[in-house]
Amino acid sequence: MGLALELTGLSKAYGPTKALQDVSFNVVEGQTHAIIGENGAGKSTLIRALAGLERPDRGSIRIQGRAYAPRNLKDSRRAGVSTAFQDLSLLPNLTVAENLFLPRLGRGLLVKRKDNEAAAREVLDKYRVGHISPNRTVDGLALADKQKLEIVRAISHQPKILLLDEPSAALPDVEWLYSLLADIRSSDLTILYISHRLAEIRDLCQTATVLRNGEVVDTVRVDEADDSRVFQMMGGATEGHGTEARQVRGVTGEPAIEVRNLSGQSIKDVNFTLQQGELLGVAALEGQGQGETFRILAGALKPAGGQVYVDDEAVTLNSTSAALRRGISFVAEERKTEGIFPGLSTLGNVTAGALRKVDRFGFLGGRREFASSVDVAREVDLNERYLRMDIDALSGGNQQKAVLARSLLQGSKYLLLYDPSRGVDVGTKGTIYGLMERFVNRGDHAVLWYSTDLAELSAVCDRILCFYRGSVVQELAGTDISVEALLAAITGHAGAEREAKA
């Protein structure tokens, strides 16, 4: 058995952010190798480098001993590397058959629609997705089918190395994926498997590399590492934030935001109460309805049914400004697209939502704007000097602080934070925890906090709602909270004994 893949000293930086630092590991031919890490650990950058979409700054890759430096996707395909991307690379306005055969689309000068569709039919049947019709456009497919199609497309290129980036994220059950991988497994096929779900990794992979903040923590045999060791390797920084830090805070018990039987496009019968003085966590895999719930509370989406109460009063939040008037402020996950105004100064970004409080006869730029911002900047630990800089020049963590400072300046009582610690460094994470705690300690304030990082949720929160397929399937509190319990709940094993299988 030779080595299928050798990575040596791979590094990649985006400005000040180091996405990959000196990443080295090997994968033996024919194995399924897991890449484990939190969000922002560098998994996606690694995949993109292997797929030819990013060029590493330093380091080298060898495939079966031969140097491999792809400049685009075509190069990687030629070398036998094929990728199913996490963000799905299907084109919604093209048909299933066209998507499947891009970019070649068959022989000959013209695209032969019927031939392609017949060939697609064969491929779809072969890989157990015969229910997908090759002649419909992809935008009409359910998300799970899109995910399956993305995987089938990667496999249909007959790769030597198959990269699967979160292949099960949108699948309601993994049975299909398991059977498919069992079908194609052979001694020539090496798979890199990226997933959050440890149970899957145990079922499918022999070896695993753990990444943290762009660095390799360790490469281990899966059967020799127990769950707690893996979580420890992944989490690392949150270790110090152990159980002793958790204590029941002075929750007043007054309901701040109450949600009754809320339903929408992706959620049904969501019930919970956020109390004043509480820092309520939300745990979920991507796309389980938490996003819609947050956006409904923020006034950005309309619910299909149910009722929201704010301060014991039934409310209809039909715009973000209506939510703001109720004291609810939402910080979205995509700072680049939803949160910040690129091109404005940091100061402009902080004051953007509260101009009436900082202007002078309708004009900005005065001392008043600066002075009021300095206070909130201090509160979120954002260095004053950044206020004068363009927000684009700031690191992700500082941008996040600026966005939080804006919410504070708006005078909101209730903060909805959607994965604020994603992609920020460990130090800033600490600041964000501190900020949230100070915020809720003001008494009648409260925070609803969604995070993809289970370790930090379990370390910081007293109570956590677990979303799965559009509902709150479990609510964990106090000493019941552990990463394992959360993991079980959000993967749909609420209450069941997971240990038996793991």
Which residues of this protein are in contact with another protein, per CB under 8 A?
Answer: 51, 53, 72-74, 77, 83, 85, 87-94, 98-99, 102-105, 109-111, 113, 140-146, 170, 172, 265-268, 286-289, 291-292, 295, 333-334, 337, 469-470
129 φ/ψ angles, rounded to the nearest 5 degrees: -125, 40
Q: What are the CA-CA distances from residue 421 to residues 101, 390, 403, 424 (Å)?
A: 39, 21, 12, 6
Burial of 464 (0-12, 13-18, 19+ CB in 10 A): buried
Nearer to another protein, 247 or 337 (CB): 337
33 φ/ψ angles, rounded to the nearest 5 degrees: -115, 130
Nearer to another protein, 409 or 416 (CB): 416
Nearer to another protein, 216 or 403 (CB): 403
What's the closest the beta carbon of residue 147 comes to another protein, in angstroms? 9
Say which residues have a Cβ less than 8 Å from residue 433's Cβ, sequence separation at least 6: 241, 456, 460
What's the closest the beta carbon of residue 103 comes to another protein, in angstroms? 4
What's the closest the beta carbon of residue 359 comes to another protein, in angstroms? 32
Angle ∠(124,34,12) on CA atoms, nearest 5: 105
CB 167 within 8 A of CB 88: no
Helix, coil or strand: residue 444 = coil
Which amino acid, one-letter code, is at 231?
Answer: F
Helix, coil or strand: residue 427 = helix
Nearer to another protein, 262 or 459 (CB): 262
What's the closest the beta carbon of residue 3 comes to another protein, in angstroms? 26
**CA dihedral of residues 142, 148, 154, 156 (deg, nearest 10):** -110
Say which residues have a Cβ less than 8 Å from residue 82's Cβ, sequence separation at least 6: 76, 154, 155, 157, 158, 159, 161, 162, 163
293 φ/ψ angles, rounded to the nearest 5 degrees: -60, -45
What's the closest the beta carbon of residue 479 comes to another protein, in angstroms? 31
Which amino acid, one-letter code, is at 241?
Answer: H
What's the closest the beta carbon of residue 492 comes to another protein, in angstroms? 12
Nearer to another protein, 281 or 470 (CB): 470
What's the closest the beta carbon of residue 301 comes to another protein, in angstroms? 9
Nearer to another protein, 266 or 410 (CB): 266
**CA dihedral of residues 235, 279, 323, 412 (deg, nearest 10):** -100
Nearer to another protein, 334 or 480 (CB): 334
Nearer to another protein, 92 or 130 (CB): 92
Nearer to another protein, 55 or 438 (CB): 55
What's the closest the beta carbon of residue 385 comes to another protein, in angstroms? 31
CB 51 within 8 A of CB 73: yes
Q: Can you say whether the dihedral through the CA atoms of 300, 302, 307, 312 is positive or negative?
A: positive
Distance CA 70, CA 72 (A): 6
What's the closest the beta carbon of residue 448 comes to another protein, in angstroms? 17
- What is residue 387's DSSP assignment? G
What's the closest the beta carbon of residue 495 comes to another protein, in angstroms? 20
Q: Which two tokens stand for residue 51?
A: 């797929």
Residue indicated by tokens 């792809």: 70
Residue indicated by tokens 């159980």: 243
What's the closest the beta carbon of residue 200 comes to another protein, in angstroms? 18
Distance CA 6, CA 498 (A): 35
Which amino acid, one-letter code, is at 217?
Answer: V
Distance CA 303, CA 422 (A): 27
Nearer to another protein, 93 or 187 (CB): 93
Chain centroid to Cα 284, Å, comes to: 10
What's the closest the beta carbon of residue 95 comes to another protein, in angstroms? 9
**CA dihedral of residues 165, 169, 172, 178 (deg, nearest 10):** 30
Nearer to another protein, 110 or 182 (CB): 110
Nearer to another protein, 265 or 318 (CB): 265
- What is residue 225's DSSP assignment? S
